[in-house]
Each structure stands twice: as C-alpha cells, then as structure tokens.
Amino acid sequence: MSEEKVIPFIEHLVELRKRLVVIIIAVVIGMGVAWNFSNDLLRFIEKPLSGATYLTEIKKTVYAKVKERAPALYAHYKLDQEINTPPKQRVLNYSAPLEPFFMQCKISMLAGFVMVLPVVFYQVWLFIAPGLTRRERRMVIPFVTAATVTFCVGALFFLIIIWPVIINFSLSYEAEGLQSWFNISAYVNFCLRLILIFGLIFELPVLTLVLSRFGIVSYRFLAPKRKYALLASAIVAAFHADLITMFVIMVPMYLMYEISIWVALIFGKKKIKTPDELQGETT
C-alpha cells in the first residue's frame, strides 16, 4: 500500500475514533440519567408476566361475541373460566448475588443510548459528511430527526405490541405440574436484544431514503429483489430459537423492506449515479 493511500486511511481511523469517543461519552451520560428510572423500566417490561395485557381485552371481546352467537360452543369449551381467571402475580428470579445490579446497568445503558440517539446519529453523519456534496450535507437535520424517531417507534412497537404477545404465548404453556420461573438475566437480555433489533429494523426506510436521495439505490434496483429480502429476513429471524420470535422479527423486517421500496420510488432520484459522477461531486 502506497504512502498516499495509507495517510487517508489513518485519517479515517482517527476521525472514526473521535466520533466513537463522543458517542461513548454521550451514552455514559445518558446512562447516568436513565439510572434514576431504570426500576420503572424494569417494572414496565415485567407487566406482561401478570397475563393481563391488551390481548386479554381482545380475548374478552371475542369470547363475548362467541357467547352471544354460539352459547353452546361457549359452554362446551368453558370459555367463561378462561376469561374470569384472575391475573397471577409472577415475579422475576435471580440466582447470582449481583445479577439484579448488572441487569439494572444494562437497562440504564440501553435507555441512555436511546436518550442520546440524536447525538449518535449526528456523529454518524459527521463521519460520512466529508464524502457528501454541500447540498447533501444540508440533510443533516432531517436525517437525525427521522433516524431518531423511527428507532423509537420501532422500540415502542415491540414493547407495546410484540412483547406482550411473546410473553403471553410463553405463559400459555403453564399447566398443572408445569409453572413458569423466569430468570431476570434471560428475561431482560431477551427483551433488550429485541428492542435493539426492532429499532434497527425500523431504520431501514430512513437508510433507503438517504441512499435513494444520493442516487445510490432506486426503486428499480430494490423492487426485483423482494425474494432476496424475504430470504434475508428469514435468515436473520432464524437466529432466534422459538418460532414465535422468528415470526415477529421476520414479518416487520420484510414489511420495512416493502416500505423502503416505496420510499425509494417517491423520494429517490430517477437515475442512479455512477462512481465517477459521485467522485466528481465530492471534488
């Protein structure tokens, strides 16, 4: 490698280190702020353990319709016993002395990361900004805002809609002689990992918007590759052992790809720029 190529490469590494240091400092500060309400966050993700979720209300509504239109079926399957079962007071358990402390640290770290997302995305933008044109650099505020909002929407979508489904499905296996005993590490780690996954999944349209505005991808490039996107979604989801989690990851991921296709169609440039054209704009 020539000296001319080594120097820019080192400069990129120095710039990357600078951005990472700022991100780490911001996350640490956010973690310190989030520490004060980490117990409230833990109680929030524990709520589905009681079995009383929005699914319970939907089930009651459906069973009421069954009772009204098919009372014999309602009585045969004893649906009244199921909907009148009082919520159970389940709790998380731990087996190591400092296990709850480390889980509190993890919750605070993720919450702090979400709090400083504008800083994180702004540092990402500053790292790639030298390769952009002056007009493209003006997209910094829309990029940071859209990236932050979509990540938060993805995380909230998981916590409010998907997380109760997963826990409710798990609790459905309880029976006489088979009771749930959730370990705090397994429970919290599972939840936090999926929060990150859903946040990143919802970033796909924003990434597509940026790339399509720069002329790197287009509708004609993305649309024919739906089958590959479906396969990629299935492969990513396959890293999770249970079928329910695989399904709730694969479906939103592929839907985000479909949304990305329409984003590229509506907001993207009509012509994909060649590498020579991109190089000419940056000089």
Q: Distances from the Cα of 244 to the Cαs of 191, 250, 261, in angstroms?
A: 14, 10, 26
Instruction: Give the model confidence (pLDDT) of 93-120 as tens digits.
Output: 998 889 999 999 999 999 999 999 999 9
What's the sign of the alpha-carbon dihedral 220, 226, 229, 231? negative
Say what the pLDDT of residue 280 is. Answer: 52
Distance CA 149, CA 118 (A): 9
Say what the pLDDT of residue 86 is. Answer: 72
| Closest alpha carbon to 148 in 210, 203, 196 | 203
Residue 227's Cβ-count burial label (10 Å; 0-12, 13-18, 19+) is exposed
Which residues in the chain show pLDDT less than 70?
Answer: 1-7, 82-83, 85, 240-242, 269-283
Say what the pLDDT of residue 272 is. Answer: 47
Distance CA 197, CA 128 (A): 23
Q: Are 211 and 128 in contact (CB under 8 A)?
A: no
What the block records as the tokens of 275 is: 């590498």
The residues, any chain, with a CB within 8 Å of residue 194's CB and separated by 6 or more, are 158, 162, 163, 245, 249
Say what the pLDDT of residue 6 is. Answer: 52
pTM above 0.75, yes or no: yes
Say what the pLDDT of residue 269 is. Answer: 67
Say what the pLDDT of residue 120 is. Answer: 95
